[in-house]
Amino acid sequence: MITARAQALTTRLLQTRNLTTQSAAAPTPTPTPRRLEGRVAIVTASTDGIGFAIAKRFGDEGASVVVSSRRKENVDRAVAELKSSNSAMRVIGIVCHVAKAEDRKRLVQETLKSYGNIDILVSNAAVNPVFGSMLETDEAAWDKIFEVNVKSAFLLTKEVAPHLKPNRGSVVFVSSIGGFAPFEALGAYSVSKTALFGLTKALSRELGPRGVRVNCIAPGIIKTRFSEALWKNQQIADRSLETVPLGRFGTPEECASTVAFLASDDAAYVTGESIVASGGMQSRL
């Protein structure tokens, strides 16, 4: 015979399951505010995925945007897509492989030539050439990961910093939840993302006295080409979702709204911080 206590427990479990089903879709976005009116923003690696969503969100919030990535055809396509999604958007495209010094310099110089100043830098580019045992990662792969994911982020910030205005300038690094809890088979990549938390802290101290803020976002598993290995195969997707309390993968737009908050005056007293957008995945070092 079923007791009242057991019945209450069953009802609660069913309610929880019902809640889980209800939370399996991203909520409808609220109307976009216009917090970035008059700001100029460079977003690296912004022709696809999270970077593209950030560029779109910034443009929709009134910023003048620079999209960039390694391939000119991708840059041209992204600019055309952004303009067709919002004809009032101010957007230009500049080819920039973040690991190339001459590209970083040109990115800054052409932005200044087109828009006259720079207010926001989002350093979003990253690579991951290896998937597997960390101890089998060779030196060349390690160097490439750290060159693109960490060193280039630092060197580009160094290039942009002199142009960022007091009490207005803002830098946002795109790290990863893997920087807190290393992904199995993505060891070196995860360590490079941990380094970005340190870079955020160190640069926020140095730029703070000038009123320039430096923050970081750590996305969880976001459905993009970059993370295909974690969601394309249904069995692997189910296993990945076991680690996500919200029970679904994130969207690039959900990262973009967090980055827009950090870049805007709504976060005027926030610096040196990392915001985790991971649907509840573990986020402590």
Ligand X SMILES: NC(=O)c1ccc[n+]([C@@H]2O[C@H](COP(=O)([O-])OP(=O)(O)OC[C@H]3O[C@@H](n4cnc5c(N)ncnc54)[C@H](OP(=O)(O)O)[C@@H]3O)[C@@H](O)[C@H]2O)c1
Q: How far apart are the first and last CA of the chain?
A: 48
Applying the rule CB under 6 A, the residues between 6 and 65 that interact with ligand X are 44-45, 47-51
Report the DSSP beta bridge partners of residue 3: none
Nearer to ligand X, 108 or 127 (CB): 127
229: number of CA atoms within 13 Å, CB side? 10
For position 126 contacting ligand X by CB under 6 A, the verdict is yes
Q: Give the nearest distance from C-beta 227 to ligand X in angstroms.
A: 3
137: number of CA atoms within 13 Å, CB side? 22
Residue 17, Cβ density class (10 Å: 0-12 exposed, 13-18 middle, ≥19 buried):
exposed
For position 5 contacting ligand X by CB under 6 A, the verdict is no
Q: Give the nearest distance from C-beta 196 to ligand X in angstroms.
A: 9
For position 69 contacting ligand X by CB under 6 A, the verdict is yes
3-class DSSP assignment, residue 213: strand
Dist. CA 190–CA 138, nearest whole Å: 15
16: number of CA atoms within 13 Å, CB side? 9
Distance of CA 202 to the CA centre of its chain: 19
Nearer to ligand X, 62 or 220 (CB): 220
Dist. CA 176–CA 170, nearest whole Å: 19
Choices 122-130, 133-141, 207-215, 261-269 (CB under 6 A): range interacting with ligand X:
122-130
Q: Which of 120, 127, 172, 199 binds ligand X (CB under 6 A)?
A: 127
Q: Give the nearest distance from C-beta 208 to ligand X in angstroms.
A: 24
Which residues are the active-site residues? 189
Choices 10-18, 104-112, 119-127, 259-267 (CB under 6 A): range interacting with ligand X:
119-127
Nearer to ligand X, 8 or 80 (CB): 80
Interface residues with ligand X (CB under 6 A) are 44-45, 47-51, 69-71, 74, 96-99, 124-127, 148, 174, 176, 219, 221-222, 224-227
